[in-house]
Amino acid sequence: MRRINFIPVLVVSACISTGPAFSEKRYLSSGAHWEFVEKNICEKPDKLLKQRIKIERKQYGKSAQRRPLWAYIIHPRPDTEASLVKNIYLIAAQHGDELNTTRVLEYFLQDLQPLSRSWLNHRRIIIIPLYNPDGYKKHNRLAHDNIDLNRDFATSDAPEGNPKAPETHAFLKLLELYPANRIYNFHQPFRVVLHGPDDEELAKPFAIMSDYPLGQGVGYPTPGSLGIYGREHKISVITVELSRSMRKLMAPFIYEEVRLAIFHAAFGCIPKTALKSTLEKRVSD
């Protein structure tokens, strides 16, 4: 049995001012981890191998300080019936000081490049590696005008006036264009996968593949958060709190913890060609 290395009382929070109070569950010992991974590998015929997967880079808005907001989109197979398309979002750095969330999704984008078009399915995968570029530039949790972008949604518990930030308005427009079925929202530093009351089964594969614990809610009110917005709009939001370190040097190791889980979150299975670790390449980059 592995030691549980997540100790809430010792957390020095970059994410909130008081320690989290969520309960956590673990599903597997490390030994059973690979068994689960193996069950979720998928193979495809390689006839389209030479045609690389296409990733659209779309500017969906501008930040308060006029920085571009980028989404990287893998569209579904062109013959997919529109009603069957599922839009899966992966977003990072709503909080600008959670630097390694962005690096992790940037590594994922790099790892997507060699995949062939045969991996296209009914999903539209929308990756936003840098949700809060103004905060990120200053290593600051908040966006311009001290707005917390994960408290800026117009939810039933939010203060009047939400949404205030152009980043939130732009994201909501993107959600109108591509309504979300599921959103993976990457934060730091608690090393836990958090889900809403009805989404445990959806969140479980991520927890198992990363060997992160699973928790429900965060144990403190988050009015105006994307999680609450999702609950009120029937969108499954899974908040992935990555490991603690914000140092660039540690980013490859944090990515390695969640790499297969991210592939599975995006594609619904792990493309066999993506199984190989890229850790050595990342460390030597």
State the minimum distance, in angstroms, from the CB of residue 187 to Zn ion. 3
Q: Which residues pair with 236 in a beta bridge?
A: 182
Torsion of CA 195, 201, 205, 208, to 10 degrees: 80
x/- map, 187-226, Zn ion, by CB under 5 A: x---------------------------------------
Nearest CB to Zn ion, comparing residues 187 and 195: 187
By C-alpha distance, which of 15, 126, 135, 127 is closest to 64? 135
Nearest CB to Zn ion, comparing residues 110 and 140: 140
State the minimum distance, in angstroms, from the CB of residue 63 to Zn ion. 17
State the minimum distance, in angstroms, from the CB of residue 141 to Zn ion. 7
Give the whole-angstrom CA distance, residue 255 versus residue 104.
Answer: 5
Q: From the list 15, 147, 175, 260, which residue makes contact with Zn ion (rule: CB under 5 A)? A: 15
| Amino acid of residue 167 | E
Nearest CB to Zn ion, comparing residues 76 and 96: 96
State the minimum distance, in angstroms, from the CB of residue 83 to Zn ion. 34
Nearest CB to Zn ion, comparing residues 5 and 17: 17
CA 266 to chain centre: 9
Nearest CB to Zn ion, comparing residues 95 and 103: 95
x/- map, 38-57, Zn ion, by CB under 5 A: --------------------
Q: Which of residues 153-192 bind Zn ion (CB under 5 A)?
A: 187
x/- map, 83-102, Zn ion, by CB under 5 A: ------------x-------
Which residues of the chain form contacts with Zn ion (CB under 5 A)? Answer: 15, 95, 187
